[in-house]
Amino acid sequence: MYSSFALIKNLSSSANNLKFSNFEMTEIDQCEVGALKLAHSVFGVGVPLYGDWVYRRDYHCDSDVEERVSSDVEDTLFLLRLFKVGDLVFSRHVIRKPDGNNLRQLPYRVMSQIRKTFGYRFESEECPGFDSFASEIMSHRNWSSTWFQTARRFFLYGGSKEFKPHQQSVDRIVDYMVAMEAILVPERDFLGRRVRERAAALLEGDDEDFIKKLMRDFYDIRSTVVHGSDVDPENNAFTMSFDFEGIIRRVIVESLRKLPFDDTDRASFLKALFDVSHNDRSELVYNQFCAIKGQDEKKTCVERMTKRADSWRGKE
């Protein structure tokens, strides 16, 4: 038998063992010496601490088990973090082979050691609900789509990074917005507006204005970072970070459930949620024209646009 282990941090529960349909999570408790001994045998002495948890999933031997183990542990982390908000951390993934030898996965961006911004609390009575949620989410065809795999990857990247605005550590926001663009914006223009309008429309709630404002505020933070400026740590948006993370998760879940799998159909579906008007585009063209300082360049631009307009009139 193969066994998959991962060290878990930032998890709290009134129970010390959480049993799911195909894995379990056990707390390293001071009253349970056996749990600490097992953790030491898997991860090494001095690595696990009291209060940490151990993820375990067992597998029967077959030809592709090692490949499946690596993907399953990431799937589990992703689904747990989709299920509810919180900085749940998996680190130090280890596979124990039938002969007792351990295969240790090298560190990569999804497995992290961050300190929590938002605690992740899970109770034993929630286990059946999670099992049903995970089964439903993984059953959707979009689970294997290219756009969803991109969104999933950057969602996990963001969740593995510290979030400390007073230290300019807000890269998490950038990754989350990449995930949102991968889901909601196959186009290349009006990105921020498309994200907020389509996110609100996709979620179909009474909190549409709240969602739009929050997505706009955090998209502004994303733009500040990617264009090389410091964020204002006193930005009022940061007080709504918990709500923002909840919206990101809701968008990911609803995109799996509602968006068409085919790229052309998905683009049409998203346009039906929200599309940029001709008036918006003409206003952008006008503002761009006004930004041209050189008179010769302005004249050339007018001549080109007039020529194009004349050709359109000839076709009418």
Let me know whether 285 and 261 are in one domain. Answer: no
Statement to judge: residues 162 and 118 lie in one domain: no
Residues 90 and 154 both lie in one domain = no
Rounded Cα gap, residues 102 and 65, in angstroms: 14
Whether 315 has a pLDDT exceeding 90, the answer reads no
Quote helix, strand, coil % in the chain, to nearest 5.
55, 10, 30
pLDDT 10s digits, 180-230: 999 999 999 999 999 999 999 999 988 999 999 999 999 999 999 999 999
Distance CA 312, CA 316 (A): 7
Within a domain: 137: no
Looking at the domain assignment, is residue 162 inside a domain?
A: yes
148 plus 58 within the same structural domain: no
Is 47 within 8 Å of 30 (Cβ atoms)?
no
Rg (CA), the chain: 24
Tokens 């024209």 sit on residue? 289
Where is the domain boundary, 240, 256, 273?
273
**From CA 137, how far away is CA 143, in angstroms rounded?**
8
Kindly state whether residues 188 and 84 are assigned to the same domain: no
In 87-245, which ranges are E strands?
89-96, 102-104, 120-121
**Residue 116, number of CB atoms within 10 A of its CB:** 16
Q: Would you say residue 64 lies in a domain? A: yes
Domain termination residue (choose one: 273, 290, 305): 273
Mean pLDDT across the stretch 280-289?
Answer: 84
> What does the block give as tokens for 178?
């990449």
Same domain, 14 and 40: yes
Q: In which residue are the tokens 């049993």 written?
A: 19
Domain span including residue 29? 2-125
75's tokens: 């799937």
For the stretch 50-106, pLDDT in tens is 889 999 999 987 767 777 888 899 999 999 999 999 999 998 899 998 888 888 888
Which letter, b or e, does each residue of 217-243 get, where b requires 16 or more Cβ atoms within 10 Å of its Cβ? bbbebbebbeeeeebeeebebbebbee
Q: How far is CA 181 from CA 214, 251, 311, in A?
A: 15, 11, 36
Residue type, 77: L
Q: Distance between CA 93 and CA 72 in Å, rounded?
A: 11
Q: Do 309 and 250 sit in the same domain of this protein?
A: no
Examine the pLDDT at 306 and tell me if it is beyond 90: no
Q: Is residue 133 part of a domain?
A: no
User: Residues 240-255: pLDDT tens digits?
Assistant: 999 999 999 999 999 9
The total number of structural domains that make up the chain = 3
For residue 154, is it within any domain?
yes
Are 151 and 46 members of one domain? Answer: no
Is 237 a domain residue? Answer: yes
The reply to whether 132 falls in a domain is no
Q: What is the maximal distance between C-alpha atoms in the chain? A: 86
Is there a single domain that holds both residue 111 and residue 165? no
User: Do 174 and 258 fall within a single domain?
Assistant: yes
Residue 313 has pLDDT above 80, yes or no: no
Residue 134 lies in a domain: no
The verdict on 189 and 250 lying in the same domain is yes
pLDDT value of position 249: 97
User: Both 299 and 253 in a single domain?
Assistant: no
Q: What is the pLDDT of residues 142-176, one digit of tens each?
A: 999 999 999 999 999 999 999 999 999 999 999 99
Cα–Cα distance, 175 to 183 (Å, whole number) = 13
